[in-house]
Amino acid sequence: VQLQASGGGLVQAGGSLRLSCAASGSTLRLNDMGWHRQAPGKQRELVATIGSFGRTNYGDTVKGRFTISRDNAKNTVYMQMNSLKLEDTAVYYCNADGWSGSSYYSNIWGQGTQVTVSS
């Protein structure tokens, strides 16, 4: 199972970006999907997660600004990021767990996509 993230880039403070992360593999049944981020010199932190039935959880720093969603038919998770702040600058990583055929995969990570917010 592989995760491919996309959608990062350079944006001005107050702007928006939409990240996507597509999972590939055979006969996928994904459970939780989510996003974490890591800024230079800081630990990786939770941004948001979404369960297979749509239950969401957000980190305190992004509540009210970011929205996570998923398309189960496409095995893809999205994150709409609005009102971006300088401190949102980080590499964003998607992750997931779930089944591919009869094999269970825990804590799969994508390659990361850079989000840079400028003043």
pLDDT tens for the chain, 119 residues long, are 899 999 999 999 999 999 999 999 888 899 999 999 999 999 999 999 999 999 999 999 999 999 999 999 999 999 999 999 999 999 999 999 999 989 999 989 999 999 999 99
**Cβ within 8 Å of residue 56, ≥6 positions away:** 48, 49, 50, 68
85: amino acid identity, one letter: K
Identify any residues that bridge with 4 across adjacent strands, giving them in sequence order. 22
Question: Can you give the pLDDT at residue 49?
Answer: 98
Sign, CA torsion 91/58/15/12: negative
Question: What is the predicted pLDDT for the residue at 27?
Answer: 83
Residue 22, pLDDT score: 96
